[in-house]
Amino acid sequence: MLDSSFFALILRMKHIDRWGLMRNTFSDNLAEHSLDTAVIAHCLCVIGNTYCGKKLDAERCAVLALYHDASEIITGDMPTPVKYYSENLRALYKDVEKEAAGELLQKLPEEMREVYASIFSSEGEDSVYRPYIKGADKLSALIKCIQEEQSGNREFKNALQCQLNTLHGLGLPEVEFFIEHFIPAFYQSLDEQR
C-alpha cells in the first residue's frame, strides 16, 4: 500500500481561514467551523428524533457535517457574496468543489475510497441529512456573528440578520427549536451561562 496524504491534508483545515471579507475580532478557521457544524447537526437530528418524531441517524449526520467543507482544503474558503454572486458562478464553483473532493479522495488507499466518497457526496439515503447540515452550517455562522457583535464588532450586524433570515427560510422545526432554546445563551457571559 502506498503512503497516503489524505489525512495530512484533512488535518490542514485549521489553516483555512473563514470570513475573509470581514474584519474579525477573533479568527475562525475551517477546522473549528467543521467541528461546530458537526456538533450542531448532531443536535438538530436529536431534536428531530426527540420532539418531531423522526428517526434520524444523528451520528451519521455528524460525520457528514464534519467533512461538509473538506474540499475547501484545496479551494480555500470562497466568501459567500462571491460564491452566490450569480447562478453561473455558483454552478462553476460547485464543479470546482466536486473536483477538489475527487482529488482528496484519490489521496486515500483505493480500498477506503468508497467509504469517504459516500461521506463527501451525501447522496442516496444520506440526502435526508442535507437540510440539517445546511441548517447547522448557517447556525454556526449565526453564532460567529453573535460572538463578533458581543465583542463590539458592528461589522457583523447585517451578516447576523442575513443568517437569521436564511435560517427561518429553511422551514426546519429543528432549526427553530435550536434558535429558540439554545441561541439566547450565546448572548450571555460565561458567568451568566453558569
pLDDT average, residue stretch 28-55: 97
pLDDT average, residue stretch 144-161: 95
Residue 147's CB is within 10 A of a number of other CB atoms, namely: 16
Q: Cell 483505493 identifies what position?
A: 110
Position 2 confidence tier, pLDDT thresholds 50, 70, 90: low
Average confidence score pLDDT of the chain: 93
Spatial distance between the Cα atoms of 17 and 125, rounded to a whole number of angstroms: 32
pLDDT average, residue stretch 63-81: 89
Residue 69 pLDDT > 80: yes
pTM: 0.93
**CATH says 6-193 is which class?**
mainly alpha
Spatial distance between the Cα atoms of 69 and 137, rounded to a whole number of angstroms: 10
pLDDT of residue 76: 83
- Phi/psi at 184 (nearest 5 deg)? -55, -30
More confident residue, 65 or 191: 65
Residue 63 pLDDT > 70: yes
- Quote the cell numbers at residue 165: 433570515
Position 34 confidence tier, pLDDT thresholds 50, 70, 90: very high
pLDDT of residue 11: 95
Considering only CA atoms, give the Rg of the chain: 17
CB 164 within 8 A of CB 143: no
SS3 content of the chain, % helix, strand, coil (to 5): 70, 0, 25
Q: Which residues contact 172 (CB under 8 A, 6 or more apart)?
A: 44, 131, 132, 135
Query: DSSP 3-state assignment of 85?
Result: coil
Domain ranges (residues) in the chain: 6-193
pLDDT of residue 163: 96
DSSP symbols for 102-118: HHHHTTS-HHHHHHHHH
CB 49 within 8 A of CB 40: no
pLDDT tens-digit profile of 107-145? 999 999 999 999 998 778 899 999 999 999 999 999 999
Position 82 confidence tier, pLDDT thresholds 50, 70, 90: confident
Residue 1 pLDDT > 60: no
pLDDT of residue 113: 95
CA distances 139 to 8, 71, 124, 160, 164, Å, are 28, 20, 25, 10, 8
